[in-house]
Structure 1
Amino acid sequence: MDFIKVKIHKIHETLSDNQELITADIIKSIYQSKGIKYKMLLEIFQNHNDKIKRLAGKEFAPSTIDRYKTAKKYAENYIANEALFTKWSFSRNEVKYAESVKT
């Protein structure tokens, strides 16, 4: 049991030292030797908007697409402004979203 605690603590410490995103799922994935795939928040937003755009007129109205574009713009501005006034050390395109991936 102590070996497990020590290994988990070392994983947490390494993530912290590297200023990586730390979640229970990430620690679990690393502990279980699974890979971690990072996606950028704004990249996810853009992929979503691209999917919605392809469905324009079928499942989504043009005004819905405009609202999603506006929401992405607000997210970009929020991230940029927060980075200026906080200790966050990322540019507006570097917000990481962690997704566990089996390897």
Structure 2
Amino acid sequence: MDVAQTLRDQGWQVVEAGTVDDAFSVLVRDPDFDLLLTDVHMPGDQTGLDLARSVKDHYSHIKVAVMSGQHRPDFADAIPFDLFLPKPILNLVRELSPLIGHLND
């Protein structure tokens, strides 16, 4: 599933980043995002959970959604995100919309 294209097809503005470092660089240049969507498993040394934690620490106004097909969060730990989405995700727009206050499906 091409997540970015799915969201674009529904009228969402999407900026893609291939690694945690790339995503954080985008946020440093322009922190005016409503939502970050990341997978737990990202290329590079850091995970999507590392990214989620950094975003929550530095940009608390940004809602964070984390998805994964293999990882399940341990809810006994501090959760660094607003929403966890287990894959497969049947309707991504419907799942994400409540985080940014509108339904676009």
TM-score range normalised by the length of the shorter chain: under 0.3
Structure (1 or 2) with the larger CA radius of gyration: 1
Return the structure number with greater helix share. Answer: 1
